[in-house]
Amino acid sequence: MADDELMSSPPSSGLADVGRAAPTTGADDELLADPPAGAPPGGLDGYRAGRPLRIAIAVVMACAIGGTVWQVSRWRDEKTAEAARPTLPEYDLSADVDDDSRPRQLVWSSGEARLGLARVQPGVEEIVLPDRRIRLAPGHDIAQIKVDVQDGKTVSIKVLVGKVIHLPPAGAPADPQSPADPPATVQ
């Protein structure tokens, strides 16, 4: 064949040369405008089908995060309450000392002090000041007070922990002309 003949002949598609038919028979290697019934879903159909599972996973994750935050908050609140709770003092007493021989009364006559009261042995049950006595209020096991005594008079008393009651001095004279002692006051 000459070069002129090759240029003048129409190009062939190559399918006729191999013996194949045109792509209209519906073979597996052809693209169709409408997929046949029962065909597997496409990418967007799979995404839509997975939506309920993704929603369920998101709800479980949100509940897990919320529960974790709530639990950590509860632990922090318990730790704060535990730190704020007054603690009973611990004593290491030798076995040869009898608790009944220890005085449960503390006498304070001058100066500033931070004093404590406790119902359990060997704690102090009563603080005696020059012009009053201080005891634990009913229902309280411990208390701490800050006192300032100057020249035989109590200048200030501040209750730091717990509640206390104020009583008149133990040796107060009972004068028939004087009015009765006021009842104990809780502070």
pLDDT digits (tens, 9 = 90+) for 7-42: 555 555 554 555 655 555 656 666 667 766 776 666
Q: Per-residue pLDDT tens for 68-79?
A: 999 999 999 999
Q: Per-residue pLDDT tens for 116-142?
A: 888 887 788 888 888 889 998 888 888
- Confirm whether pTM is higher than 0.75: no
> For 182, which DSSP code?
P
Q: Is the pLDDT of residue 49 over 60?
A: yes
What is the Cα–Cα distance from 17 to 46, expressed in whole angstroms? 42
pLDDT recorded at residue 176? 47
Q: Which of 99, 92, 82, 91 is nearest to 116 (CA)?
A: 91
Secondary element (H or E) of residue 61: helix 51-84
Contact 147, 125 (CB under 8 A): no
What is the Cα–Cα distance from 136 to 186, expressed in whole angstroms? 9
Highest-confidence range of 70-79, 84-93, 126-135, 152-161, by mean pLDDT? 70-79
In this predicted model, which residue has the larger pLDDT, 4 or 140? 140
DSSP SS3 for 47: helix
